[in-house]
A and B are shown apart, each in its own frame.
Chain A
Amino acid sequence: MANTIVQQFIKELEAEEGATRKCLERIPENLFSWKPHDKSMNLMYLSVIVSDVPKWITFMAEGSEIDFVKWEKFVPKTTAELVAHFDEAIKGAKQSLSKVSDEDLAADFHLKANGKVLYTATKLENISSSIRHWVHHRGQLTVFMRLKDIPVPAIYGPSADEQAF
């Protein structure tokens, strides 16, 4: 039996959860303000995005818009707070997806900035691209980690630091 799209999304979140958490729990709070280049995000900002994406998915499953201006910016003081934020976000995303059907995901979802629509697509497309967006930023995070000699976990395959997969 083929998965429904909703089932598939839940499985993808489960598949990505472990490696993502392993990255986040290795981000030392004393390096939160470090950035590898003037034009880069700092390590905390990038880590917060990685921890936050499942929360975007909750909004997409349950609501009809995210307005960037109203988005509650999470500012962790410690690694533990960062990881706790991620744990809560991923749990919430899985729960909210478990309450919707593929038909529900055919509805439109809007990304806005101060009320102005920047982008509209179906909930399905928004959730799907959010998962890929999440993978993208976690990929960036692994380079930041390497530059600061933080061991990079095996993600889809072995890293130079961890062969076990």
Chain B
Amino acid sequence: MTEKLVFIKNMEAELPITVKVMRAIPKGLPDFKPHVRSQTAKQIVQTMIAEVLGMKSMLNGEENVFTPIETFSLTDAIETYEKSFADTLQAIRDIPEEELEKPLAGLMGNFFPRRIDGMRIFANDTIHHRGQLSVYIRLAGGKVPSIYGPSADENPFQ
């Protein structure tokens, strides 16, 4: 098992969970935010799209300029996320492992000796933000799906 294969396996496992969580955001509440200083649910999904696209640009070692992707609606954002994710995942599958070991010009102003380390930051950040969305869903009165284990609304072990 190589680092690249572990990375790909993780991404393959995460996509369906993330889409399930995004779809659980109550309809009509794309602008829900639990606190005046929080991002809205839609803004979080838009950030996650930018990260998935950013991971693809890092494959070439390009400096990442992080810009959240503007979308018309939450449904539109979820579709864009799914499509971008599949596209980035395929690009990672197609690249030789040694390319991932090459330097990344910049990510949020920092130099990374290895591209895969920059990519991992964005991959983990999507998990971080999905965790935030799961709390938003609970507070907005939605049902929180099972993520890595049971939630109060869904228990895959029962």
- A residues whose Cβ falls under 8 Å from a Cβ of B: 1-3, 5, 8, 12, 16, 36-37, 39-40, 102, 106, 113, 118-119, 124-125, 128-129, 132-133, 135-140, 142-144, 146-147, 155-157, 160-161, 165
Contact = CB atoms under 8 A, between A and B. Distances in A.
Contacts of A124: 1, 6
- Residue from B66, B129, B135 whose CB has the most chain A CB atoms within 10 Å: B135
A125 B7 CA distance: 11
A139 B127 contact: yes
A147 B34 CA distance: 7
Interface band, chain B: 35 or more
Contacts of B108: 157, 165
Nearest to B141: A37
A136 B139 contact: no
B73 interface: no
Given A124-B1, A124-B6, A136 B130 contact: yes
A146 B37 contact: yes
A160 B122 CA distance: 18
B132 A160 contact: no
A138 B148 CA distance: 13
B27 interface: no
Given A8-B3, A156-B121, A157-B108, A132 B14 contact: yes
In the A-B complex, the 6 residue pairs with the closest CB atoms: A139-B131, A139-B128, A156-B125, A143-B135, A136-B131, A39-B152
Interface of B: 1-3, 6, 9-10, 13-14, 34-35, 37-38, 66, 97, 101, 108-109, 120-122, 124-125, 127-132, 134-136, 138-139, 147-149, 152-153, 157
A113 B109 CA distance: 46
B1 A36 contact: no
Given A156-B121, A157-B66, A132 B148 contact: yes
14 contacts: A1-B101, A2-B101, A40-B152, A102-B1, A129-B10, A133-B148, A135-B127, A139-B129, A140-B135, A142-B128, A146-B38, A156-B122, A156-B125, A160-B38
A2 B37 CA distance: 41
Contacts of B120: 12
Contacts of B128: 135-136, 138-139, 142, 155-156
Nearest to A159: B37
A114 B157 CA distance: 13
Nearest to B120: A12
Given A156-B125, A160-B37, A140 B134 contact: yes
B125 A157 contact: yes
A116 to B, nearest CB: 9
A136 B21 CA distance: 12
A11 to B, nearest CB: 8
A129 B132 contact: no
B82 to A, nearest CB: 19
